[in-house]
Structure 1
């Protein structure tokens, strides 16, 4: 039934989660079972169409965390864009690359 399984450790609860990849047809045929898998086991389902991922079904708690992280990222990106608005692109990218390199060296 499932095309691919990939076990991961959830970084928040340290519980193993399973990521399953299925075709859109398989997903449609087994929707109830997959909803239970996501709701009760907190697994994730990657839905493929023509062999390419097009959507992911995740539990509501994980989605809420993803949404919050995206809001924080968007706010941070806005602050960075505002702070570097007058800086030439090459100079800004050089500063960002230097900061990333320094952080990776730590």
Structure 2
């Protein structure tokens, strides 16, 4: 794995876990297919050799209700305010963000 992924790549991977945990999609492969990113490129992405394209990012945000400013590290709220989310959705989002932060600290 690359020392540090580009923030948008890292956040799309978090969105993938969120989409699976909230039943938007069933699998990583389904998520990646929905956003137009070949599942066979996932290893290259994690090694820093590939990146999600602007089109992949827009599709992921549209599918999940994600905040594009969050994806690029400009805001702390993962989900757009205009979309109604249950308390469970917000809790799942918080857990995914926390897990990602802890993993980042453990890799240092």
TM-score range, shorter chain: under 0.3
- Using structure 2 for the length normalisation, give the TM-score: 0.25
- Using structure 1 for the length normalisation, give the TM-score: 0.25
Higher-Rg structure is 1
Which has a greater percent of helix? 2
